[in-house]
Chains A and B, each alone.
Chain A
């Protein structure tokens, strides 16, 4: 019976199961005992208890009298904000650098490759320290802030900028922007349909720009054209009014973006290089213009190669945002850390933390798999 393969397979699996369960049980009972001895509570009730600590930056309303649960949500909001902005900036910068690396201009291409080789080979944490140090130590104090007119002040306390004052017109502008974008897409599809029918091509670029800029402008004008601006004014020890980008936020976003951009640059470069030279030649031979070549032949093929590693970089950026705890930006990990220290309930806090990151990772992976399947080149 020992020689039967089926038996052996079952045996191995049973052994592994026993080992996992055994070790798990051992750890679990130890934990129970230790928690009891140290009189640490268990369970997630702490989430409804009062947090008692302030959070410097928040996207939703929060006070120290709010619960730990709410504090957690504030941290989550900050994480998503940083990750979102970071992803956008990193993609823009990374794509530019990647294309620059392929440029026939020697100077541009060398600068781009130096950028990649430097940023990729230095730990992100150190880069964050340097950015943070630059923003807090090297920038002047509030009294001697670098001023751009009276609408931007740069100092140790961050970037203080003027912003339009509260007015209903501005939310209308926001809606106008969305409407403009939707109309631009509509125009594009209308033009395409006409082209398929008659062969004539309506211009798409200029009308889109006009719509995206014009509709919000129209909304602004119709709602009263408010021009009042909330300007930062130095009062006492700090500015009042206007909006602020804290040095922590600025350091985190700039550090994350510039670091991830270096990796994205390589991904974009590999994608474009993966498109066979013959494709370009065939499209040239058919008489397509360089713009048409890029749009219809090169980019569709390059994107297929680019998207999977690109999403993996987005994942890394989101995970790397956890480094914010080292420079004091109150995102998820930092908030959880404070919670952990105050309640002593490390297990629940860390478990919650890991669960959230896991959820984000799985969501991004699922998207990638879906996209991959949709655009897979049909094989024989």
Chain B
């Protein structure tokens, strides 16, 4: 079933529909029969121990990883090998990486205008205006003519967020956005993400930052060994985890937080 219908923005309430998703890396099964439904405007935090498949899950959503079994439908378009579907999905889904992945040979402004010009066929003036708007939104507009290597890690990640936003996505994916940052820069990035959440963006965020989860998430999903073990509201999940594995995980993570005061 190849759904090549154009993205129906705003009409369907379901942003992402995942059914029976399984993915293998060679013989190793990274995702086991995952089911997930994300509604528009929902903010989801995915957590779990390393190797649990959380990054793999969100990378499947914009087809950075292909899946072998199950269905992924993003805004009404099913993700298959069909290149047109993939490109349609990618234009509508923004991604922020752990390692920022800014283009070092382009200025901050050029990083943000590259895709709008070449994919959405905007003119330079239009793209520049959009870019400056979003750079202001992440509070980094004055760095526009600089090159990525001239910025700190926190600044680079905020540029990465602006770059993704310049494509006007309806869904934003965050793959451990603060894990590569020095502690003092984590806050500025989380604040930016908080802003985004308050404006109603559909977000799926893989992170260890539990404070962020508590403040922003509508739903916390705990994954372990390739499957969704538990999902609940943050309050319910943090105060009353149901499964053993969740309890263990929270024990380790929150211990760390409590030690740090």
Contact = CB atoms under 8 A, between A and B. Distances in A.
Q: Do chains A and B touch in the complex (CB under 8 A)?
A: yes
B206 to A, nearest CB: 14
B207 interface: no
Interface string B29-69: 00000000000000000000000000000000010100000
A292 interface: yes
Contact of A287 (B101, B103, B115, B122): B115
B114 A199 contact: no
Contacts of B104: 301, 377
B219 interface: no
A286 B90 contact: yes
A311 to B, nearest CB: 19
B118 A292 contact: yes
Contacts of A304: 105
Given A288-B118, A304-B105, A378-B147, 4 more contacts: A195-B117, A199-B124, A281-B97, A289-B87
Interface of A: 195-201, 276, 278-279, 281-289, 292, 296-297, 300-301, 304, 377-380
A198 B123 contact: yes
Interface residues of B, number: 35
A292 B163 CA distance: 17
A197 B105 contact: no
B101 A199 contact: no
Given A284-B64, A300-B105, A380-B149, A197 B124 contact: yes
A237 B118 CA distance: 63
B185 to A, nearest CB: 15
Contacts of A200: 121
6 contacts: A199-B121, A284-B64, A285-B95, A287-B115, A304-B105, A380-B149
B255 interface: no
A97 to B, nearest CB: 26
- How would you classify the secondary structure of chain A's contact residues: helix, strand, loop or mixed? helix
Nearest to A197: B123
Contacts of B121: 199-201
A286 B150 contact: no
B80 interface: no
Contacts of A276: 99, 101
A296 B163 CA distance: 15
B195 interface: no
A287 B111 CA distance: 13
Contact of B90 (A278, A285, A300, A378): A285
A287 B102 CA distance: 15
B99 A288 contact: no
Nearest to A285: B95
A172 to B, nearest CB: 39
Contact of B94 (A199, A278, A285): A285
Most interface-central of B90, B102, B104, B163 (chain A CB within 10 A):
B104
Interface string B121-145: 1111111000000000000000000
Contacts of B150: 378-380
A267 B21 CA distance: 42
A279 B106 CA distance: 12
A286 B64 contact: no
Contact of A199 (B62, B90, B99, B126): B126
Contacts of B120: 199
A286 B147 contact: no
B91 interface: yes
Contacts of B260: none
B103 A279 contact: yes
Contact of A379 (B105, B126, B149): B149
Given A198-B123, A377-B147, A287 B64 contact: no
Contacts of A379: 149-150
Contacts of B102: 282
Contact of B105 (A199, A284, A286, A301): A301
B240 to A, nearest CB: 36
Closest 3 CB pairs of A and B: A282-B101, A199-B123, A196-B124
B97 A288 contact: no
Contacts of A199: 117, 120-124, 126-127
Contacts of B163: 286
A297 B148 CA distance: 14
A272 to B, nearest CB: 15
Contacts of B123: 195-199
A297 B147 CA distance: 15
A249 to B, nearest CB: 41
Contacts of B101: 276, 278-279, 281-282
A262 to B, nearest CB: 29
